[in-house]
Amino acid sequence: MERQAILRLRDGKEFTGTAFGAEGVIAIGEAVFNTGIPGYQEILTDPSYAGQIVMMTSPMIGNYGIAETDSESSGIKAAALIVKKLYRGPVMKGRITLDAFLRENGITGIEGVDTRAITLHLRDHGSQNAVIFPPEKRTEAEALLASFPLITERDLIDGVSVKQAVKDPDLGEGFEKAPKNPRKHFAVVDYGIKRSIISCLYRRGASVTLLPHTAKAEDILALDPDALFLSNGPGDPALLTEAVEMVRALIGKLPIEGICLGHQIITIAIGGRTEKMKFGHHGSNQPVRSALTGRTFVTAQNHGFMTVRDSLPETTSIWFENADDGTVEGLFDETLNVRSVQFHPEAAPGPEEAEAIFDTFMEKAR
């Protein structure tokens, strides 16, 4: 029996569809659209999506099911899922359906809505808070939406970071194992890291000490690592004042590298600024151009904040820029020994042509 569900945006725009996943749940978060075609499992389990309702622009989602080996973290981190059409047929042996995966994780979804119209609305009016609810819970849902804080007011890191240091974490089946004879040692601060990032470091012979987001400069120096690495993660980097101060304290003492949120933290730590984007970059088909070579390649991205180009110090150089809108996609500063990228070179999901960025991270570690 079909269950009706309603999607309501903060500005009052409303869409009615069919619920799937967990029953009777009110889901709330910032609604964003993702332009990827495959990769819904990696997207849902990417901790960078914590606090967000993800809408897939691809018209049918779920046709290859869910494989235990494809999750980027332990369980779904997104707040909810919006699709045009949910695949409800059989899946390969050893997999479960997307509907069952959401049920297992207590996450709701809505299908049968006009995802094109919603995408155009978010593109024109910007990403915004939204709520998905069953009709009988309208009063409760509308009250929750009216009082729910903006993404710029929510510190989401504590819910996705490890609580204590972990040496060479076991990523599980389908990912690389820690090297037996490591070439380098990375201190990795976990703001919501994807397993694929650690896997890429392992593949290049790096050992990893995964640290909680509360790690202090002295904790990191005590490990005597070859580099400090700042992970991806959710939310507004401007709220992470302690992380910024930690990075500032280590500039000049260690090579510092970062991806996505890590890139934004580095931006602020070296004296730059970040700002909220209208609807961000979310998808596995985002073109990026090297400012050094002019080469353009396609990347996976998930961010709603960006580096303000004109705010960067004179010694800082642009490494990459977005080929569509010219926004900063990477920076480096040889004087400060920092480098970072806004996109996800580990992909997962997406094209793998940017993975060589990890080779650079290895080369620049001391």
Query: For residue range 60-110, what is the model confidence (pLDDT) as tens digits?
Result: 999 999 999 999 999 999 999 999 999 999 999 999 999 999 999 999 999
Question: pLDDT for 157-171, tens place per residue?
Answer: 999 999 999 999 999
Catalytic residue among 263, 282, 303, 344: 344
Please name each of the domains of the chain with its CATH number.
3-148 (3.50.30.20), 157-364 (3.40.50.880)
Averaged pLDDT for residues 320-327: 98
Distance, in Å, from the CA atom of 256 to the CA atom of 253, rounded to the nearest integer, reads 9
Q: What percent of the chain shows pLDDT beyond 70? A: 100
Can 344 be counted among the known catalytic residues?
yes
CA angle, residues 37, 42, 45, in degrees to nearest 5: 135
Which amino acid does the sequence have at 298?
V
H or E element at residue 112: none
| Count of Cβ atoms closer than 10 Å to residue 252 Cβ | 11
Query: H-type helices in 205-250, by residue range?
Result: 217-222, 241-250
Determine the pLDDT at residue 37: 94
As beta bridge partners, residue 298 has 287
Can 200 be counted among the known catalytic residues?
no
Distance, in Å, from the CA atom of 208 to the CA atom of 176, rounded to the nearest integer, reads 12
Can you list the positions of beta strands (E) in 41-183? 52-56, 60-61, 80-82, 85-86, 108-111, 128-133, 166-167
pLDDT exceeds cutoff 90 at 229:
yes
Q: Is 258 helix (H, G, I), strand (E, B) or coil?
A: strand
Question: pLDDT for 239-278, tens place per residue?
Answer: 999 999 999 999 999 999 999 999 999 999 999 999 999 9
Distance, in Å, from the CA atom of 262 to the CA atom of 225, rounded to the nearest integer, reads 17
| Distance spanning both ends of the chain, measured CA to CA | 60
pLDDT exceeds cutoff 90 at 1:
no
Catalytic residue among 260, 263, 281, 282: 260
Which amino acid does the sequence have at 59?
P
| DSSP label of 33 | E
Can 260 be counted among the known catalytic residues?
yes
Distance, in Å, from the CA atom of 299 to the CA atom of 259, rounded to the nearest integer, reads 13
Averaged pLDDT for residues 143-149: 98
Torsion of CA 343, 344, 347, 349, to 10 degrees: -80
Catalytic residue among 30, 321, 329, 346: 346
Question: pLDDT for 101-138, tens place per residue?
Answer: 999 999 999 999 999 999 999 999 999 999 999 999 99
Torsion of CA 20, 22, 28, 31, to 10 degrees: -40
Determine the pLDDT at residue 265: 98
Averaged pLDDT for residues 312-337: 98
Q: What is the mean pLDDT of the chain?
A: 97
Distance, in Å, from the CA atom of 109 to the CA atom of 100, rounded to the nearest integer, reads 11
Question: pLDDT for 189-199, tens place per residue?
Answer: 999 999 999 99
Contacts of 36 (CB under 8 A, 6+ apart): 43, 56, 58, 283, 284, 285, 300, 349, 350
- Residue 200 phi, psi (nearest 5): -65, -35
Q: For residue 204, what are its two tokens? A: 């290049």
Q: How many residues does the chain have?
A: 366
